C-alpha cells in the first residue's frame, strides 16, 4: 500500500466517523483488562547490505489544501516549551496547546502542507512538507524557514530528533532516509531495498529505527548509514508508527494486523494483538511505563505494558482519537479530525479542547492577518 493510499484510507475512515454533535468535555472512560498476551516466537531475519541503486517510485499525492479555515488537527508532538504542537496538513497551519487547554494557531505560507512534526534541539518545531518537498522549521514566535530536498518528489513523511542533535526523516516515495542539521545541511541515505519508509524514531543505542510499511520490516540505521533489516513474520503487516519504549526496546504498530510489535536491541521480534477492534493509527511511549495506541474506528486508546498486557480505554462514540503524544503533565494528548484536541489521564479521565483559529495575542483579527509578515522569513539554507 502506497502512503497516498494509506492517507486516503485513514482520511475516509475518520471522515465517516465524525459525529454531527461536538462534545466539549468527557470523563471516566471505561477500561477492561484482558489476560496477558502471548508474544510471537518468530525470530527476526537480520541482513546487512550496502545500498544498491533502486528505481524511485512516484511521489504520493496529497489532497489539495482546504480553502476553509476550520481546524482539523492531524499529527501531534511534545514541543520544547512544554506545550503540545500539532499540524493541520489540510490547511496551512501548525498550532500549539498548553497543558491547561489554550490553543494558538500559526499560519504558514499558502503553499505549505505540514504533515509530521517533532521538537528540534534549537527551541523550534521541525516538520515535513510533502507538497513542497522540503523540511520546515517554525520557531516559538512563529517565524518560518524551509530546507528544500535534493531528491525531487521524495515524499518526506515521518521526522524525529536524533541523539546526534540532527533531524532525521523518511522519504517515502524515494526510499531514502534524510538528515538535516539545525543549520540546514541535508544528507540522504538510500535504503538497501524498496519498502516505503514511513515512521522513524531514535533508539537508545543512537541508531535510527524505520518502519517500512510496504516492505514489512523494521530497519536499524546508524548515523553513518549502515542498515540492518528485520523482516516481520507476516507479509502485508504494514508497520507504520514507531517509538522507543521505556524498556529499551522499539515498539511499532501494524496497520493491517491490528497488532503492536516489539523489537529488542538484539533483533528479537515479538507481536501482540490489540484488544480494540480496528486499525491502530498512532503510538507513543507514555505514563506508567507503557505504550499507548490509538484505534480511531473503535473510539479507543489501548495501553500495552512491556510484557504485553493490554487494556482498552473505550471513549464516547463522538471521540475519534487519531495521532497521540505524551505531554509534560504526565497525560496523553491526541488529535481529533473534528477540530479538537483530547487529553486522557493514565486513569482514563477524558477532556476535550476545541482548536481555535484565532490568535489570543491578536484578538481583533484572525491568525491569517499575521501570516503575511511571517512569510518573509528566509530559507535556512540550500541543500
CA 27 to chain centre: 26
Which residue out of 92, 172, 193, 364 is catalytically annotated? 364
Residue 66 C-alpha from the chain's centroid: 21
Give, in order, the Cα–Cα distances in Å from 366 to each of 46, 88, 106, 137, 315.
53, 16, 10, 22, 33
Active site residue 364: yes
Q: Is 296 left (phi over 0), alpha (psi -120 to 50) or beta?
A: alpha
* H/E segment holding residue 266: none
Based on its alpha-carbon atoms, the radius of gyration of the chain, rounded to whole angstroms, reads 19
- The dihedral formed by the CA atoms of 143, 103, 316 and 237, expressed in degrees to the nearest 10: 10
CB neighbourhood size of 170 (10 A): 31
How far is residue 116 from each of residues 17, 79, 216, 241, 252, measured CA to CA in Å? 22, 13, 21, 11, 16
- The answer for residues whose C-beta is within 8 angstroms of residue 364's C-beta and 6 or more apart is none
- Reduced to 3 states (helix: H, G, I; strand: E, B; else coil), residue 298 is helix
69 sits in which H/E element: none
Nearest alpha-carbon partner for 3 in 173, 153, 158, 134: 173
Residues with a known catalytic role: 364
Amino acid at each position: 500500500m502506497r502512503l497516498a493510499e494509506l492517507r486516503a484510507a485513514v482520511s475516509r475512515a475518520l471522515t465517516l466517523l465524525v459525529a454531527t454533535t461536538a462534545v466539549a468535555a468527557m470523563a471516566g472512560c471505561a477500561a477492561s483488562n484482558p489476560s496477558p498476551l502471548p508474544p510471537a516466537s518468530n525470530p527476526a531475519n537480520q541482513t546487512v547490505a550496502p545500498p544498491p541503486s533502486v528505481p524511485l517510485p512516484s511521489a504520493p499525492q496529497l489532497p489539495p489544501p482546504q480553502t476553509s479555515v476550520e481546524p482539523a488537527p492531524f499529527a501531534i508532538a511534545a514541543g520544547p516549551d512544554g506545550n503540545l504542537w500539532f499540524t493541520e496538513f489540510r490547511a496551512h497551519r501548525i498550532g500549539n496547546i498548553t497543558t491547561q487547554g489554550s490553543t494558538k494557531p500559526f499560519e504558514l505560507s499558502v503553499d505549505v502542507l505540514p504533515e509530521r512534526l517533532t521538537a528540534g534541539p534549537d527551541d523550534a518545531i521541525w516538520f515535513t512538507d510533502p507538497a513542497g518537498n522540503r523540511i520546515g522549521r517554525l520557531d516559538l514566535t512563529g517565524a518560518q524557514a524551509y530546507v528544500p530536498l535534493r531528491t525531487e518528489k521524495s515524499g518526506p513523511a515521518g521526522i524525529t530528533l536524533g541523539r546526534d542533535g540532527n533531524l532525521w526523516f523518511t522519504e517515502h516515495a524515494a526510499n531514502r532516509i534524510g538528515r538535516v542539521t539545525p543549520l540546514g545541511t541535508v544528507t540522504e541515505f538510500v535504503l538497501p531495498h524498496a519498502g516505503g519508509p514511513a515512521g522513524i524514531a531514535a533508539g537508545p543505542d543512537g541508531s535510527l529505527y524505520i518502519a517500512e510499511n510496504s516492505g514489512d520490516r523494521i530497519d536499524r540505521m546508524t548515523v553513518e548509514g549502515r542498515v540492518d533489516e528485520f523482516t516481520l513474520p507476516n507479509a502485508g503487516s504494514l508497520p507504520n508508527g514507531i517509538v522507543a519504549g521505556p524498556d529499551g526496546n522499539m515498539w511499532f504498530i501494524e496497520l493491517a494486523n491490528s497488532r503492536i510489535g516489539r523489537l529488542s536491541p538484539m533483533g528479537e521480534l515479538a507481536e501482540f494483538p490489540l484488544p480494540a477492534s480496528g486499525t491502530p493509527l498512532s503510538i507513543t511511549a507514555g505514563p506508567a511505563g507503557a505504550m499507548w495506541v490509538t484505534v480511531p474506528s473503535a473510539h479507543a486508546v489501548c495501553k500495552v505494558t512491556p510484557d504485553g498486557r493490554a487494556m482498552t480505554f473505550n471513549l464516547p462514540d463522538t471521540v475519534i482519537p487519531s495521532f497521540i503524544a505524551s505531554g509534560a503533565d504526565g497525560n496523553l494528548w491526541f488529535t481529533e479530525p473534528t477540530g479538537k484536541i483530547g487529553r486522557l489521564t493514565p486513569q482514563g479521565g477524558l477532556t476535550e479542547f476545541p482548536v481555535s483559529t484565532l490568535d489570543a495575542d491578536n484578538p481583533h483579527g484572525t491568525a491569517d492577518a499575521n501570516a503575511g509578515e511571517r512569510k518573509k522569513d528566509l530559507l535556512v539554507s540550500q541543500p
